[in-house]
Amino acid sequence: MTVADGVAGIHVALVRVVSEWTESGLQASVAEGVGVALDPTGIRAVYLIGLNGGAMGFGQLAEHGSISRPTASKLVSRLELQGIVDRVRSGRTVEVRLTDAGTQAYARLVAAGHRMVDDALAGWDPREVEQFQSQLSRFVVALSRTSMQPSHDVSTDVAIPQEET
């Protein structure tokens, strides 16, 4: 296997992980299973805010949630009505903070995610899990430093991956 083959395989695997993990039906099912009554967009917002220490700027939420500011405003209004977040004004900026109920919802969603990962790793040796976690963390850090533009010529000859049987 060449490095290019490895890169292509990793890319396909990452796209599949993101696609599976963020699928709206799965997210709604997980949330419902832990008693969190949020739609997939609300779930994503709770994750983003929770991962940011329980609070983030309104603009950051829109940017990291890949939604427009008007859509973010409507989302935050819905989450406020549900008692999940509060808007806190600080001068000219608005911060969105998880309420106690929002923090509890975030904790339940994270616990459900941990169970899903644990189930997926069933049968793995503890050393394999440790290595996977270490390499994945290293990759995430490196990915956050990469440019969105390819640094070299990228081939447009892409093979369509075959489903594993």
pLDDT tens digits for range 60-90: 999 999 999 999 999 999 999 999 999 999 8
Domains defined for the chain, CATH in brackets: 12-144 (1.10.10.10)
Q: How far is CA 8 from the centre of its chain?
A: 22
DSSP state of 82: T
* Beta bridge pairs of residue 87: 96
CA–CA gap between residue 38 and residue 149 (Å, rounded)? 35
pLDDT tens digits for range 119-150: 999 999 999 999 999 999 999 999 888 876 65
Three-state DSSP at 90 gives strand
SS (H, E, C) 119-164: HHCCCCCHHHHHHHHHHHHHHHHHHHCCCCCCCCCCCCCCCCCCCC
pTM of full prediction above 0.85 = no
Please enumerate in sequence order all residues whose Cβ is within 8 A of that of 71, keeping only pairs 6 or more positions apart, or say none. Answer: 62
Instruction: Quote the tokens at residue 10.
Output: 């990793």
Beta carbons of 85 and 102 less than 8 angstroms apart:
yes
Q: What is the mean pLDDT of the chain?
A: 89
Torsion of CA 81, 26, 35, 115, to 10 degrees: -130
Beta carbons of 82 and 38 less than 8 angstroms apart:
yes
